Structure 1
Amino acid sequence: MGTVTCVACGTERPRDEAREYDKHGDRWDREDKTFEYLCKSCHRELCHHPRTELEALLVELDADTQSQEAFLARYLAAVEERYGTLEEHER
């Protein structure tokens, strides 16, 4: 069965104690694909809302061409501009 490493917290777990994660959002198409894994506790903490526009936004923001800090600042600004703040949605 083997072990896998959680991409969120870095712990190693037996494969049957983890959840598959597909960063492209299509875990059903398995052809030529390598999955990442999340331990069950990290998986439970995730937001499970649809991420229809997420991949396009990441490409638009050039997610992999800047530091993590710079990207997160641009991402937060773009999300708030498009969808409003979290506080606005909680009202």
Structure 2
Amino acid sequence: MWPSRTRTETVTCLACGDQVTRSMAREYDKHGDRWDREDKEFEHLCKSCHDELCHYPRDELEALLVESEAGETDRDAFLADYLETVEERYGTLEEES
């Protein structure tokens, strides 16, 4: 059975760090599948940070971030590896004029 949604649990927004009541937050599932809840622990975003997110599909993004060692290498090395991998798989990004 699902826990009651009337609880006043406090959660921390993973983007800004603010503590908000659970009712004022949105669940975030880094795997992009918030409906499959078995054995999951969700992170949370406050409503304003959630509204600022891009809500387009992010197929393959989590695997690409893990492969590019996000959070495990310094920022410059990660960005260089990420860009190289994206260009190899999807082509170069060109600005539209």
On whether the aligned pair clears a TM of 0.5, the verdict is yes
1, 15, 19: which is aligned to 2:22?
Answer: 15
Partner residue, 1:31: 38
CA shift at 1:73, angstroms?
4.0
Structure 1, residues 10-60: CA drift from partner, whole Å, max 9, x if none?
000010001000011111111111100000100011000000121221132
Over aligned residue pairs, what C-alpha RMSD do you find? Answer: 2.1
Structure 2 stretches lacking a partner, 5+ long: 1-7
Greater helix proportion = 1
Greater C-alpha radius of gyration: 2
TM-score normalised according to structure 1 size: 0.79
2-side partners of 1:5 and 1:69: how far apart? 28
1:87 equivalenced with 2:87 (yes/no): no
Contiguous gaps of at least 5 residues in structure 1 = none
What percent of counterpart residues are identical? 65
Equivalent of 2:65, from 58, 62, 70? Answer: 58
TM-score by length of 2: 0.75
